[in-house]
Amino acid sequence: MISIAVTKNLLGAEGPFSMEVGLTIDPGSLVTLYGKSGSGKTTLLRMLAGLEKPDAGRIEVNGQVWFNSLSGINLPPQKRNVGMVFQDYSLFPTMTVRENLRFAQTRRNEAKVDDIIHLTGLAELQSRYPSSLSGGQQQRVALARAIVSEPDILLLDEPLSALDQSTRTRLQDEILRLHRQLGLSTLLVSHDKQEVFKLSDTVAVIKQGRISRYGSIREVFLDRITSNKFSFVSTILDIRQVDAIYLAVIGVGNDLVEVVLCERDLQELSIGDEVLVASKAFNPIVRKL
């Protein structure tokens, strides 16, 4: 269990504001922080990692107090069992893939390095240097390095934002697989609603340092969507039954819509299908491509 209750004065694009965040993360869950740039999302991750100090409050992870302003406790980053993945990979350029993973361990464990290398599909790349890897490969190494020390919490600061959509989709699958397989408690920062929908158990929307909405994807996003004329190509993210009808959740740029499916649609469509969504006499139609 991860419990965060912190305050910190920050300076944003619209001037100074005070961050006041209270958040509880259940073991093994993936919680996403969603909001505009400068709202305090990355600062919250850095405070968890010990890279920034809150002005006041308390951080407790699995029964251990990492920060308490009243008692003067503030564990340094090296004593917080955190794995963190940044946007820019932050790999050591003079170290091979294997050496980057070794460096992340507090105690040398070659068997664990081997396990993570094979788990993340890096066996053929382990002797190469970061400069010889693609962006997606470098980010996979960064993810492997973050989990090789078996962290109490995995912090992901928009780790896929610089990648092309195809690579991003593959690494989203990789993150979700590793999160579930290893039972990680994960906190993700993302601006991409489709990514949030795909990965998250719970979403916290942060606005000017405060959590303005908190709940499941549907509670936070989908109950706000209304019908409009549209025509676009996208991917089916989910299909669910509501009473006597079925609804498909489909990404629209950085947004989500729910579209009613007919019985014929259910026979032809499934999650992951690329579809054309269009309006016909003001009624949406969905066609598999």
pLDDT at 288 over 80: no
Q: Is the pLDDT of residue 8 over 80?
A: yes
CATH number at residue 270: 2.40.50.100
CB 41 within 8 A of CB 87: no
Q: Encode pLDDT of 33-82 as tens digits.
A: 998 888 899 999 999 999 999 999 999 999 999 999 999 999 999 999 99
Between these two residues, 121 and 264, which has the higher pLDDT value?
Answer: 121
pLDDT band per the 50, 70, 90 thresholds, residue 283: low
Burial per residue of 2-36, b for 16 or more beta-carbon CB atoms within 10 angstroms, e otherwise: bebbbebebeeeeeebebbbebebeeebbbbbbbe
Instruction: Pick the last residue of a domain from 194, 220, 246.
Output: 220
User: In this predicted model, what pLDDT tens digit does every residue of 199-211 receive, in sequence order?
Assistant: 999 999 999 999 9
Pair (149, 234) in one structural domain? no
111 and 156 assigned to the same domain: yes
Domain that holds residue 208: 2-220
**In this structure, are 212 and 69 located in the same domain?**
yes
Residue 163's CATH number: 3.40.50.300
The whole-number pLDDT of residue 262 equals 82
- pTM, two decimals, is 0.80
Residue 183 sits in the same domain as residue 202 = yes
What per-residue confidence (pLDDT) applies to 37? Answer: 86
Number of folded domains in the chain? 2
Residue 249 to residues 51, 238, 245, 258, 276: CA-CA distances in angstroms? 38, 5, 13, 5, 13
Mark which of 220, 248, 264 sits at the end of a domain.
220
Same domain, 246 and 105: no
